[in-house]
Amino acid sequence: MYDRQVATLENIDDKAMRTTRTAVLILGFIAGALTAAGPDSVSDLSIVPTIIGSFGTLAVSGSAFMGVGIYTVTEYPVEIREGDLRSAGRAPRSAWLDGAIGRLDDASTSIQAEIERNAEYLEVAQLLLITGSSSLLYATAVTVAARSFGVSPGEQTAAVVIGATLMAVVLWGRVKLRDRKSRSR
């Protein structure tokens, strides 16, 4: 049981580290692209991709920071301490075992709290990463489309917002319809 909890916590830390690695790679690409494009590259962009791209960069940076935080703050409870091992020979076996089981129980309870906490942080870090990379992708797509077809980023964003709203309404309608059908059966 305790072994499995430790493995889960290690798994969360591992995922946090991989999230950080991905975020740092994305930030490196952004820095590389901006350096290659020159100092005027940002001022040449229109306001919509600049705002969305900046938001995306901030979100990805936040994800990297959180990822580092997750595996740095993780504390593994010590179920058996050095003093316990030293006293092993002196205390009667049953008394020592009783104490060890109690400490293992405490360690299991505290590691569970740590797992839940780290899992929540990881969710936020991954959400930031996915939001940030989507925003960056959107900002790039809008800029490329504006330069290729001459449609302004503002118009494109308006079209996307209207499309997404319509899609949300259609999906919501379908869910409601399915609920009504299942209730009438």
Residue 138 as a binder of another protein (CB under 8 A): the answer is: no
Cβ neighbours for 61, distance < 8 A, ≥ 6 positions apart: 23, 27, 132
List the interface residues with another protein, window 74-103 (CB under 8 A).
74-75, 77
Measured CA to CA, the distance from residue 100 to residue 112 in angstroms comes to: 18
Interface pick for another protein out of 54, 117, 119, 141 (rule CB under 8 A): 117
Select from 51-59, 64-72, 149-157, 159-167 the region that touches another protein (CB under 8 A): 64-72
The residue behind tokens 């319809």 is: 177
The residue among 24 and 45 lying less far from another protein, judged by its C-beta, is: 24
Pick one of 33, 95, 101, 113: the residue that binds another protein (CB under 8 A): 113
Which candidate, 153, 160, 159, places its Cα nearest to that of 46?
153
How many Cα atoms occupy the beta-carbon half-sphere of 168 within 13 Å?
6
According to the binding rule CB under 8 A, does residue 129 interact with another protein? Answer: no
In 3D space, the residue among 23, 29, 129, 16 whose CA is nearest the CA of residue 73 turns out to be 16
CB of 155 to another protein, least distance (A): 39
Considering CB under 8 A, how many residues would be counted as binding another protein?
A: 15
- Chain CA centroid to CA 39, Å: 31
Asked if 72 touches another protein (CB under 8 A), the answer is: yes
Q: Which is nearer to another protein, 63 or 156 (CB)?
A: 63
Write out the two tokens for 82. 């050095």
Least Å from the CB of residue 52 to another protein: 25
Query: Please, what is the Cα angle at 127 between 126 and 133, to 5 degrees?
Result: 85
Can residue 136 be called a binding residue for another protein (CB under 8 A)?
A: no
What residues line the site for another protein (CB under 8 A)? 65-66, 69-70, 72-75, 77, 110, 113-114, 116-117, 121
